[in-house]
């Protein structure tokens, strides 16, 4: 394998700043057509604003956040410019998300020294096509994950080429948040003191698979520098379409949502086990009066079978005009993509139970009451042992 990763950091923000430079240096969140946050500035992220968060939640996290609609068409045009520039090389290209693409360079060279001139030329061509403030960074390796990590490590307008002999030396100190694992998994690993790829790679594989499933196995292989995934120049294979029938027909939104979501669990889970998610989803809703409505969902980044995808599906069903009772729903995943790395969340994404509460319950159920939380009983008591009381965290979140 010989793979180059071309990455434009903060692609959506850079496009917006090009047209509105006065919005820089302020907390900014860009909203997509689904009224979800598609990009957030560093100032907004510090306050807890995250991608795929609703506008309401973003304002709760950061009251002075500047909410503005994203010019999706302009971003699509610029992304097409990026892909078109790379396509002129005549090499296979795969684009997992906005402002990023893999280039299969096996036909060019298979060593860092031999591929260096071509990478420099390719980076210059892309930089000239995109122009400021969109700055490209390039990474190269014999596998897609390490190439992606190298592109993250490289400074803007620079390339980071990783020799196969230096692969582990490069990967070991890199943060584990480069792996596209669920945020709860990353939080558990952080609690265990596993914060680098090298630490994660040294864990026993059997224990990783037992705790985190097939996705953990793939992630550990990548952390060890073993990634044999090819660059897919064509559309990825998608799961088979799903038919959900309602007998008798129903006009209840909750029933349609729950049965449709239940039918989607298996294909989404199978994708997540391979560290892939859904990028585009189509629903054809058939009513008892023979009318049909269609729903198209497109996501800023691939999503798994989590609360974010379910919430957007529920929202689209709620705003859909229902002329009659629903007889059946035809569901098809139109496009999938590689899950992107997530950052550890300082705040829960909803106002209900947090992910930390769920993790505490899981750990206490597995290991017993070993996690304790101190409460002040009487800070003026003369005996130190009676100033505090310790409760198990399982009781605290019950």
Indicate the average pLDDT of the chain. 81
Kindly tell me the burial class for residue 348, based on how many C-beta atoms sit within 10 Å of its own C-beta (0-12, 13-18, 19 or more): middle
Q: How far is CA 40 from CA 10, 13, 21, 49, 66, in A?
A: 9, 7, 15, 7, 10
Tell me the two tokens of residue 67: 């909410």
In a 3-state reduction of DSSP, which class is residue 26? coil
Lowest mean pLDDT among 33-37, 182-186, 352-356: 352-356
pLDDT at 146: 92
**Length of the chain in terms of residues written:** 398
Position 156 confidence tier, pLDDT thresholds 50, 70, 90: confident
* CA dist list (Å): 303 to 57, 170, 366: 19, 29, 29
Percent of the chain with pLDDT over 70: 84
Give the Cβ contact number of residue 340 at 10 Å: 18
Span of 39-53, 152-166, 337-351 with lowest mean pLDDT = 337-351
State what percent of residues in the chain have pLDDT above 90.
11
- Say which residues have a Cβ less than 8 Å from residue 99's Cβ, sequence separation at least 6: 7, 8, 9, 11, 12, 79, 82, 134
Secondary structure (DSSP) of 232-297: --SPPP-PPPEEEEEEEEE--HHHHHHHHHHHHHHHHHHHHHTTEEEEEEEEEEEETTS-EEEEEE
Respond yes or no on whether the N-terminal peptide bond of residue 133 is cis (omega within 30° of 0).
yes
Position 70 scores a pLDDT of 86
Q: Which two tokens stand for residue 119?
A: 């990478």
Residues in CB range of 385: below 8 A, 6 or more apart: none
Backbone dihedral angles phi then psi of residue 241, each to the nearest 5 degrees? -60, 155
Up-side HSE of residue 316: CA atoms within 13 Å toward CB?
Answer: 22
Whether the pLDDT of residue 394 is over 60: the answer is no
Tokens of 57: 């939640």
pLDDT for the residue 197:
92
Which comes out higher in pLDDT, residue 21 or 349? 21
Q: Between 328 and 299, name the one with better pLDDT.
A: 328
Whether residue 135 is preceded by a cis peptide bond, meaning omega within 30 degrees of 0, is no
Grade residue 284 by pLDDT with cuts at 50, 70 and 90. very high
- pTM given for the model: 0.66
d(CA 165, CA 186): 28
pLDDT-derived band at 329, boundaries 50, 70, 90: very high
Q: What is the pLDDT of residues 189-244, one digit of tens each?
A: 888 888 899 999 999 999 888 888 888 888 999 999 898 888 876 545 678 888 99
Phi, psi angles (nearest 5°) of residue 353: -70, 135
pLDDT recorded at residue 76: 82
* C-alpha dist (Å) from residue 272 to 88, 201, 267, 276, 358: 33, 20, 9, 5, 20
Is the alpha carbon torsion for 205, 209, 212, 216 positive or negative?
positive
Structure tokens at 117: 């001139």
**What residues contact residue 289 under an 8 Å CB cut-off, 6+ apart?**
323, 324
Average pLDDT score over residue span 85-110:
85
- The answer to whether 246 touches 326, Cβ cutoff 8 Å, is yes
- Identify whether the C-beta of residue 264 lies closer than 8 Å to the C-beta of residue 282: no
Task: Report the distance separating Cα 246 and Cα 325, nearest Å.
Answer: 9
Contact 157, 137 (CB under 8 A): yes
pLDDT at 348: 37
- The predicted-structure confidence for 172-181, as pLDDT tens digits, reads as follows 999 998 888 8
What pLDDT sits at residue 346?
36
Residue 343 pLDDT exceeds 50? no
Helix/strand/coil (H/E/C) assignment for every residue in 95-155:
EEECCEEEEECCCCCCCHHHHHHHHHHHHHHHHHHHCCCCCCEEEEECCHHHHHHHHHHCC
* Of 4-18, 89-103, 225-239, minimum mean pLDDT range: 225-239
């Amino acid at each position: 394998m010989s793979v180059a990763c071309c990455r434009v950091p903060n692609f959506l923000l850079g496009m917006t700043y090009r047209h509105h430079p006065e919005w820089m240096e302020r907390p900014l969140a860009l909203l997509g057509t689904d009224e979800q946050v598609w990009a957030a500035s560093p100032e907004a992220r510090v306050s807890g604003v995250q991608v795929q968060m609703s506008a309401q939640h973003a304002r709760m996290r950061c009251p002075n956040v500047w909410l503005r609609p994203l010019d999706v068409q302009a971003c699509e045009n610029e992304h097409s410019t990026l892909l078109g520039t790379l396509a002129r090389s005549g090499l296979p290209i795969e684009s997992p998300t906005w402002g990023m693409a893999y280039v299969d360079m096996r036909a060019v060279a298979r060593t860092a020294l031999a591929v260096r001139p071509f990478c420099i030329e390719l980076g210059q061509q892309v930089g000239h096509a995109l122009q400021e403030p969109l700055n490209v960074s390039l990474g190269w390796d014999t596998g897609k994950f390490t190439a992606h990590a190298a592109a993250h490590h490289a400074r803007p307008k620079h390339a980071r080429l990783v020799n196969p002999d230096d692969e582990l030396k490069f990967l070991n100190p890199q943060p584990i948040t480069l792996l596209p694992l669920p945020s709860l998994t990353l939080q558990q690993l952080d609690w265990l003191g596993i914060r680098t790829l090298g630490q994660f790679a040294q864990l026993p594989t059997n224990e990783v698979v037992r705790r985190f499933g097939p996705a953990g196995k793939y992630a550990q292989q990548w952390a060890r520098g073993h990634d044999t995934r090819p660059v897919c120049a064509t559309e990825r294979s998608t799961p088979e379409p799903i038919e959900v029938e309602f007998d008798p027909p129903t006009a209840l939104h909750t029933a349609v949502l729950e049965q449709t979501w239940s039918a989607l669990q298996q294909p989404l889970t199978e994708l997540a086990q391979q560290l892939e998610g859904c990028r585009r989803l189509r629903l054809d809703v058939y009513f008892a009066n023979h009318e049909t409505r269609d729903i198209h969902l497109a996501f800023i980044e691939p999503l798994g079978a989590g609360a974010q995808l379910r919430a957007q599906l529920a929202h689209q069903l709620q705003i859909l005009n229902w002329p009659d009772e629903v007889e059946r729903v035809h569901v098809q995943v139109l496009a999938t993509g590689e899950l992107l790395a997530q950052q550890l969340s300082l705040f829960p994404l909803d106002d209900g139970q947090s992910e930390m509460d769920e993790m505490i319950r899981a750990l206490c159920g597995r290991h017993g009451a070993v996690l304790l939380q101190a409460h002040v009983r009487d800070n003026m008591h003369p005996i130190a042992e009676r100033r505090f009381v310790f409760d198990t965290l399982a009781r605290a979140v019950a």
